[in-house]
Amino acid sequence: MTFDKPDVVVLQGDSEQVTVKATSTKALSAPLNVRVDATDEFVSGTTVTYEKIAGFEFNLSTATSAPVGKRSGVLKVFLCSDDARVCNSPYPGSPWTVPYEIEVVSKALKQTPLAMLPGAVAWNNLGGNAARTGYVTTNITLSPANFSLRWAKRGGPSTSMWRLTEAVVVDGRVYTGGNSLRAYGEADGTLLWGSSFNSGPAVVSQGNVFSYADETTFAPNRLYVRNAVTGSSVNTPDHYEGQEDRSLLVADDDSVYAPFTFRMTAVDGIVAWRDYAPMRSLPSRASDRLYMADASNVYARDIKDGREIARIATGGEQREVRRATGTLADGQDRVLVSHFNQGNASLGSYSIGQKQKLWDVEASFLSRPALAGDTVYVVNVPQPAKGVATLEARSSATGAVVWSTPLPDAVVPVGEEAVYHVAVVGNLVFVSSDRKFGASTYAIDRSSHAIGWRHPVNGSLAVSDNGILYVAQALDASLFAINLR
């Protein structure tokens, strides 16, 4: 009998579910009962599930009273033909000792004065910037030893269809959508203002916050504009879209764009051009071009007048698009297109000047890509990895894997809607996910490819120009701010 080794990280005062899988070299004879003798770092009570009579798994939960620090210990596992509390008829080899490691991370707050991270710019879109590269440039070498929790806003299990969205951060204010559009002070998390309506993810430009929102659950989404400082309504443009499209805005320093398609000047809400061609695409912008894509084509439009510059066939006409197709502007000519769908995903690169596909990879991708220099970072479940989520660094020129690092998250079961998030800050790649159990946030060194830090909260990622990492947990509407210096 072999056992997975539990390696647990948990925030002080929280409880984390731990699943341990046991694999037998031969079929187990039923009925068999399991008992796990654990230390005080775990609460009593064990849930056991048998798997095809060739093994089993059991779940434990860490104790909320576990002290801060890193420790190791052993679990004692009994497999018995009789009552496991007595176990006068143990299975051959029983009991087994299973080593574990646990790290309890302090929830003490450290609110040092805010200071600009050299080279960083505002994270005003999903994916950070209008190109959606997810990359924060800096000449500072970040050391995980200096990371600390700055503040946390705890929510609770959401019953709304509107989940907490990825944060955007501009001028020391943090904006999140969900069951309300909210603004927080970056220094200490003070709530500055909040809306009375549901909201999709926000973008920020020219001192205004833009988001699709609705005032009733089933009403069409309307584009709302709020003053970034006060939250007061600036105008309410006469533009509506369906429920699916509420996250599909992109903003630059002058305008806001959507793939439906329109360009609106950010300072006054005037629509510069409009073309009613709705599509489920996460647009990006570079130079004078707006990029969009669907299952069949990649599109480039001139931002000045909206005219179509190029249309390139993807060859994926039969590809099911369950989420909005993502685009990422790779320099002045190329665009990365991400069809991100569970079990049916692809990542490709297209040249607008050559009007052709450069490369395309079909795999089990679980994230939108991030781009730093000539390297694309994306989370995949490579075969035959058996459900192990893995950060891959791929060449932007060829799509080939340059290096990869498996993540110590729980195995991704077949059919699970696991969604991962990637952000690159200087020398580190941050990876997290929306998974409910068995996941953390990680920092992977771009040179050594080793995991140098992990934090026991997970969610979507954003990074401010003050060097603060934000982790937004969609399911329980919690937001965590982590100092990176």
What average pLDDT does the segment 40-47 reach?
A: 79
Tell me the three state secondary structure of residue 146: helix
What average pLDDT does the segment 336-354 reach?
A: 86
β-partners of residue 337 are 327, 348
pLDDT at 321: 55
Name 52's Cβ contacts closer than 8 Å, sequence gap at least 6.
none
Say which residue the tokens 């490691």 belong to: 101
For residue 324, pLDDT over 80 is answered with no
User: For residues 192 and 167, what is the distance between their CA atoms, to the nearest angstrom?
Assistant: 15
141 or 314, higher pLDDT:
141
Q: Are 395 and 376 in contact (CB under 8 A)?
A: yes
Say which residue the tokens 């996460």 belong to: 282
Q: What share of the chain has pLDDT > 70, as a percent?
A: 89
Provide the token pair at 354: 């050559």
What average pLDDT does the segment 283-289 reach?
A: 92
User: For residues 393 and 408, what is the distance between their CA atoms, to the nearest angstrom?
Assistant: 17
User: For residues 241 and 220, what is the distance between their CA atoms, to the nearest angstrom?
Assistant: 6
pLDDT at 243: 44
pLDDT at 452: 96
How would you class 43 by CB atoms within 10 Å of its CB: exposed for 0-12, middle for 13-18, buried for 19 or more? middle
Which amino acid is residue 181, in one-letter code? L
For residue 422, pLDDT over 60 is answered with yes
What average pLDDT does the segment 24-48 reach?
A: 80
For residue 52, pLDDT over 60 is answered with no
Phi-psi region of 305 (alpha: psi -120 to 50; beta: other; left: phi over 0): alpha
Q: Which of 107, 112, 129 is nearest to 465 (CA)?
A: 129
pLDDT at 316: 64
pLDDT at 237: 61
Provide the token pair at 22: 């046991």
Q: Which of 398, 406, 353 is nearest to 382 (CA)?
A: 406
Alpha helix ranges (H) inside 335-472: none
pTM exceeding 0.75: yes
Provide the token pair at 207: 């001192």
**253-257-259 Cα angle (round to 5):** 155
16 or 203, higher pLDDT:
203
Q: DSSP letters along 262-298, please?
A: EEEETTT--EEEE------EE-EEETTEEEEE-SSEE
Q: Which of 67, 81, 126 is nearest to 421 (CA)?
A: 126
pLDDT digits (tens, 9 = 90+) for 357-408: 999 999 989 999 999 999 999 999 887 767 899 999 999 999 999 999 999 9
Pairing of strands 460-463, 255-258: unpaired
Q: DSSP letters along 209-258, please?
A: EEEEEESSTTSPEEEEEEETTT--EEE--S-EE-GGGTT--EE-SSEEEE
Say which residue the tokens 């079909």 belong to: 362
For residue 350, pLDDT over 90 is answered with yes
pLDDT at 91: 87
pLDDT at 413: 76
pLDDT digits (tens, 9 = 90+) for 164-197: 899 999 999 999 998 889 999 999 999 999 987 8
Mean pLDDT, the chain, rounded, equals: 88
Q: Which of 206, 159, 201 is nearest to 462 (CA)?
A: 201
User: For residues 374 and 337, what is the distance between their CA atoms, to the nearest angstrom?
Assistant: 15
The confidence band for 300, taking pLDDT boundaries of 50, 70 and 90, is very high
Three state DSSP letters for 34-45:
EEEECCCCECCC
For residue 319, pLDDT over 70 is answered with no
Phi, psi of 243 (to 5 degrees): -55, -35
Provide the token pair at 217: 């659950």
